[in-house]
Structure 1
Amino acid sequence: MVGATPNRLSALYCHLAEEGEEGQERTRLTSLVGPTSLARSEEAGEDNAFTDCLAVGSDLGLFVVDGDIIRLMSPPMGDKGDAFRAELAARLVDHVASATTPEGAVAGAIAWMLCQDPRAPLKWTGSASVMLRKQQFRPEVTADFGMTNDSRFQQAVYWARALGFVTRTNLGEELVIPDPTCAIEHRLDKLLPHGTEKLLSSFLAELADCCPVFEGGSVRTQVEDLLRPELRRESGNVSASTTLALHRLKQRGVIDLRRLDDGRVLFVEGLLDDGRVSHIRRG
């Protein structure tokens, strides 16, 4: 549903959060997601912004429609933006077990993006869906994760960016960089509280358990298994996208990485001179 973008859903969610349990009349909500020209008909292919957002929000369990009244399923207690992102993450990636179901398409798309090297960004138009097909080695089980053309790929990028898994930049052309820095940082309070240290291998395993699009997770493993052997991550190596995130978090002073003699070592390219890292710490 092309009209349902994260920004539009967020606008609806935050407004309904302010309305509380009483909700809001449907007619008063339509202007929140864009001008009326974006909802001009219900023919296939039209950008029916409000109806698309309402349908997707209902499917995700965010909204409850009671006649002409729309309300949130679970009004947030704290920051509305943080609550919206957490709700999206839980439904679109964290609680998804398989990339091969319709419900797992966004998670599968994100996992595939994270398999790519940030040093070779994805182009906004013209190549991502073709690249996806070419990277897979078994035609009988080829998966597209809903990214069948540029528009569908861009739609997946909107969700991936809203959830903190990619960034967009323009260096003469629009590019998408696999960069899960924000996604990892959002999960640090749960996985690595302030003042704690653990094996990097343990941290990444726990990260994959709570967010299966990361290496070692069920969704990521399904996607990696579809790739040609030469494109798969080597055992003991942290993926290029996760490596970028660890670099950035370390540079900002959010985490520290070191190598100790008593821990399993992983290869994180560009860190600690030779890339051999055993522990991660949060100050």
Structure 2
Amino acid sequence: MSNQTNEAGTLYLVPTPIGNLEDITFRALNVMKTVAVIASEDTRNTQKLLNHFEITTKQVSFHEHNTQERIPQFIKWLKDGTSIAQVSDAGMPSISDPGKELVQACIAAGITVVPLPGANAALTGLIASGLAPQPFFFWGFLPRKPKEQKTTLTQLKSYSATLIFYESPYRIVKTLENLIAVLGGDRQVVLARELTKRYEEFIRGSLTTVLAEMTSRTIKGEFVILVAGASEVEAPTLVLTDEQVRQAVAELIQAGAKPNAAIKTVAQQTNQKKQEVYRIYHEL
């Protein structure tokens, strides 16, 4: 890649439509037309978007499997004056998609990072869900393994914020079953399906009724799951033995939580002081 200027280039983070191509912004189109290269999660998918808007900018693949290879290459180009637009297949780069490692590398190298506003499935679903729009807690894709998924949901059970997850049509029923197992069947939920597309749909109700609806039909399309936050009535204090406290903390850590965060979560769930749970866990 040849130099364009004597100054460093800019990394532009460009959101792409999550379904409806009309949701692209004029600014996003202009950036993709004027940069030297587009870093795409899937070049074949992005090419369809570029063809639709008659954009001929060169693409280079950038996905989770070639991150370590591409980042040094991109940093060199940027330092040499080449500006890059980074896009994912749909929505915001870095949000449940590749991007954050490149952003971190650019910041460390003193390269300017410019984010563009645009489509995002989580917020699009949230504002039409009918659930409390704020505060909300966005998790993204839950762990696939049932045990790890339940451990994560247990960690989130007492949150009063609206919970937002992404899920595929292949795992939506099992995830709803795990939500019921951990949160109970009465918690309100909204499934936002195929957002901005022709068959956009919102399925609302209790977890139990929504699960019954989903098991009775052919399931297609990507989902945003929005779950009402816990009320004080829905989040009773847990009474655990010392051994159960240690086990609860250990399970959260095994699922990926940092020790202090796991101890804090168990303290909230058991209405104990953090220092007491710390003492129990470390057997002091």
Structure 1 length as normaliser, TM-score?
0.28
Larger helix share, 1 or 2: 1
Larger strand share, 1 or 2: 2
Max Rg structure:
2
